[in-house]
Amino acid sequence: MPSKRSSSAGRQQAAKAGKAVVSGRPQASAQRPSRFHFISDTIAEMKKVTWLTRREAIYLSGLVLFVAVSVGMILGLIDLGLSSLANQFLLGG
């Protein structure tokens, strides 16, 4: 950990250079990036993505639908069975 003397020397040097000092550290006077810079960065990153082909996208979408319907039917049958058991044993009917 720096001593008090080196910390105050750093502040004095930063003050001479015209930089702001926040919590003992000199801050560079960097400009904030514009909002449009974010958009151009996003477009650049999207160009790096390896996209699925149309055939792969259709196949995987169909697979997701098949699994969702199958799981829904299985859970529906389990729910139907458990509710009939509950009606028979708990409600006597």
Q: What is the pLDDT of residue 84?
A: 92
Q: What is the pLDDT of residue 19?
A: 55
Residue 70 has pLDDT above 90, yes or no: yes
**Alpha carbon of 87 to those of 7, 25, 73: distances in Å?**
77, 72, 21
Residue 16: both structure tokens together: 């001479």
**Any idea what the Cα angle at residue 22 is, between residues 21 and 26, rounded to 5°?**
45
Model confidence at 33, pLDDT cuts 50, 70, 90, reads low
What value does the mean pLDDT of the chain take?
80
DSSP letters for 7-68: HHHHHHHHHHHT-EEETTEEE--PPPPPHHHHHHHHHHHHHHS-PPPHHHHHHHHHHHHHHH
Residue 71: both structure tokens together: 């799981």
